[in-house]
Chain A
Amino acid sequence: MRHIISMLLENEAGALARVAGLFSARGYNIESLTVAPTEDPSLSRLTLVTSGNDEIIEQITKQLNKLIDVVKLVDLTEGSHIEREMMLVKLRAADATARAELKRLVDIFRGRIIDVTDRTYTVEMTGTGDKLDAFIEAVGRRAILEVVRTGVSGIARGEKALRL
């Protein structure tokens, strides 16, 4: 099963390498990983998507918790949560029909065109991984020049918060 594991990490050199190294050393997979500083400059927030059965996920969270640089950790998929991913996608938009069609699709998916040339549109879109996949599917592989995805980040619903 797919899990979104989110953690607060000491904002120190090598902390990310410890997390990534743990996954490769123990043979777990990472589907996506995103990391950035938080409002507290001593902490980073790292969110990763992985998959495995219950035993594997239990081991992953235990092993992550053992890392000295991991301050606090939550498996967001254990509770109700919101997940978002941002995508920038550059599309081939050379003729009027294509441009109109792409514009309509972008609107349907609630994306935004943020850069335009004679031959291209660059689109910004946010949503769950599934929604971004669906958009890529809808525009078709031939229209796509470049895809940049941030990887999934997420937050628990309600008053629950991952903080110290």
Chain B
Amino acid sequence: MELTGAEIVVRCLRDEGVEYVFGYPGGAVLHIYDALFQQEQVKHILVRHEQGATHAADGYARATGRPGVVLVTSGPGATNAVTGIATAYMDSIPLVVLTGQVPTALIGNDAFQEVDNVGITRPCVKHNFLVKDVRDLALTLKKAFYIATTGRPGPVLVDLPKDVTAAKAPYVYPERVRIRSYNPVTRGHPGQIRRAVDLILRARRPVFYTGGGVILSDAAEVLTELVQRLDYPITSTLMGLGGYPATDRRFLGMLGMHGTYEANMAMHHCDVLIAIGARFDDRVTGNVEKFCPHAKIIHVDIDPASISKNVKVDIPIVGDVGRVLRDMLRVLDATDRSPDREALAAWWRQIEEWRAMDCLKYDREAPVIKPQYVLEQLYEVTRGEAFLTSDVGQHQMWAAQFYKFDKPRRWINSGGLGTMGFGLPAAMGVQLAHPDALVCCITGEGSIQMCIQELSTCKQYGLPIKIINLNNRYLGMVRQWQEFFYQGRYAMSYMDALPDFVALARAYGHVGIRVDRPGDVEGALREALGRKDELVFIDFQTDPTENVYPMIPAGAGQNEMILV
């Protein structure tokens, strides 16, 4: 039997096991919406702006490990989605983005709502396709899911001209697909793995440095086993939080620009650095000339281009992080060698000295609400069990520092691109993926306004997200840099004429709570958590002068932190 292109799209999604499509209708995708309307398996979530659709699909993907799916129309629908696509690209999140396109005969004509979707997104997708013939449609969609979810994951865009969605073809969804030019390596080189284990066992001052690759590869368990067996210290990037239990004593906290003193000092002084699924981002390395000056470096990553891109490494291992770590454990099993316990004890004594600096301390007696206190209280009240999404800025760093993630896929934030506006729509995707879980969006009065319209989506689908707004009336991270590096000239970082967020939440049909005093923080959080079926927007009036410490200024070494 022949199906229309639109029906084929929907059947493909169904056969791919897609639960939700996040999207927004428009002229070029009307056939597809009509096909969606006539079935029940694939559910559609109507956002209020296409950026929200991509972030929601992204949040869903990060929380589940399954690809997020987006459907938007041509022209402005697609361009609005670009920020979300770039966000997913930078953090290697699997998305399949379906964009409408003008009919093939009109392509290149500057037709109504026409834009070159494939051209615009080329630099921020893993791959993209323009389908010109309905007979190629099913295979192309299969390829899109395959490419998005394998190797180093990422967003794949499929551009669908309107006439292709109207034309008919027989439907066969291929069970498997082979792409001759795309064969990601998953198994690490055995010789390299043996060399790495040998170096690990010879280390006197080792440290594990782990990133988002651990989460993407579902390798938290095997990583934990390896680290605990060796009893080595471990630090994580912003993207890797939850890949190793933060409450374990071996965890030194996050590293990098706003990482802990002990994590950055351990990096600076280590003799063997074991980098797992991390990419030596500039926010982690600081000045690469001064990065880990005494260390031999092992780097495990599925993307060969990530290896020796920023920092030259000694033992590169290309492969899937989980698989390589399991192979490392096997090599360890087979040897009777063990780490130098004496050297390790001395290393741990040194690390404990650094840890005793208590670099995350802040003024607990202040009469105003300290943002750190809100995060600490949130951690207590939720017993560390919440899913946290975050926007971008100071609140993001405080959440990363003060909420201790023991499990993977609980910390969901835009690390690479740093996209303000990510938090709320991402929380929608997380909440849909885990309807019974507690999902909190950590945000600020700047970020939340970038996708605030999604409060309406939350109402429509009854998503009981808890929004923790750390409202300091400033674009806090901008203000902090201006204080440190621009002699306090606060150019355009003060936000005047803020809305009454409580009234705004109510206007959207939600509950709003304003909190002004430190003593009311815990009570407000408990009240919000008690409202299990409602979205609660808590507007915390926080200290406008608070800064994120420690801080490595741009261009400095990891041992050159600004402390409180």
Contacts and interface: CB of A to CB of B under 8 A. Distances in A.
A84 to B, nearest CB: 26
B130 A13 contact: yes
28 contacts: A10-B181, A13-B130, A14-B122, A14-B128, A14-B130, A17-B119, A17-B122, A18-B122, A21-B122, A21-B123, A25-B123, A55-B308, A55-B312, A58-B308, A59-B305, A63-B305, A65-B304, A65-B305, A66-B303, A66-B305, A68-B127, A68-B147, A68-B179, A69-B181, A71-B180, A71-B181, A72-B181, A164-B180
B118 A14 contact: yes
A163 B118 CA distance: 29
A3 to B, nearest CB: 17
Nearest to A8: B181
Interface in A55-95: 55, 58-59, 62-63, 65-66, 68-72
Contacts of B485: none
B349 interface: no
Nearest to B119: A17
A58 B307 CA distance: 10
B97 to A, nearest CB: 16
B43 interface: no
Contacts, number: 37
Contacts of B118: 14
Closest 8 CB pairs of A and B: A62-B305, A71-B181, A68-B127, A25-B123, A68-B182, A62-B304, A63-B305, A21-B122
B229 interface: no
Interface in A12-30: 13-14, 17-18, 21, 25
Interface residues of A, number: 20
B195 interface: no
A105 B119 CA distance: 47
A25 B125 CA distance: 13
Contacts of A58: 308
Contacts of A69: 181
A17 to B, nearest CB: 7
Given A21-B123, A63-B305, A68-B181, 18 more contacts: A13-B130, A14-B118, A14-B122, A14-B128, A14-B130, A18-B122, A21-B122, A55-B308, A55-B312, A59-B309, A66-B303, A66-B304, A66-B305, A68-B179, A69-B181, A71-B180, A72-B181, A164-B180
Contacts of B130: 13-14
Interface of B: 118-119, 122-123, 126-128, 130, 147, 179-182, 303-305, 308-309, 312
A70 B182 CA distance: 9
B276 to A, nearest CB: 19
A164 B181 CA distance: 10
B156 to A, nearest CB: 9
B24 to A, nearest CB: 26
B308 to A, nearest CB: 7
A25 B357 CA distance: 43
A135 to B, nearest CB: 39
Nearest to A10: B181
Interface of A: 10, 13-14, 17-18, 21, 25, 55, 58-59, 62-63, 65-66, 68-72, 164
A59 B309 CA distance: 7
A64 to B, nearest CB: 9
Contacts of B127: 68
Contacts of B147: 68
A21 B126 CA distance: 13
A83 B126 CA distance: 33
Contacts of A17: 119, 122
A63 B306 CA distance: 9
B7 to A, nearest CB: 26
A108 B278 CA distance: 58
Nearest to A26: B123
A7 to B, nearest CB: 10
A66 B123 CA distance: 13
Nearest to B122: A21
Contacts of B303: 66
Contacts of B180: 71, 164
A13 B118 CA distance: 11
Nearest to B305: A62
A43 to B, nearest CB: 10
A139 to B, nearest CB: 41
A126 B303 CA distance: 40
Contact of B181 (A13, A21, A70): A70
Nearest to B312: A55
Count chain A CB atoms within 10 A of each CB in B126, B127, B305 and give the residue with the most.
B305
A153 B529 CA distance: 67
Contacts of A164: 180
Contacts of B119: 17
A21 B118 CA distance: 12
Contacts of A66: 303-305
Nearest to A70: B181
B320 to A, nearest CB: 16
Nearest to A72: B181
A109 to B, nearest CB: 40
Count chain B CB atoms within 10 A of each CB in A59, A66, A71, A164 and give the residue with the most.
A66
Nearest to B181: A71
Contacts of B181: 10, 68-72
Contacts of A65: 304-305
Nearest to A18: B122
Contacts of B304: 62, 65-66
A124 B427 CA distance: 65
Contacts of A68: 126-127, 147, 179, 181-182
Count chain B CB atoms within 10 A of each CB in A25, A55, A59, A62 and give the residue with the most.
A62
A69 B129 CA distance: 11
A3 B305 CA distance: 18
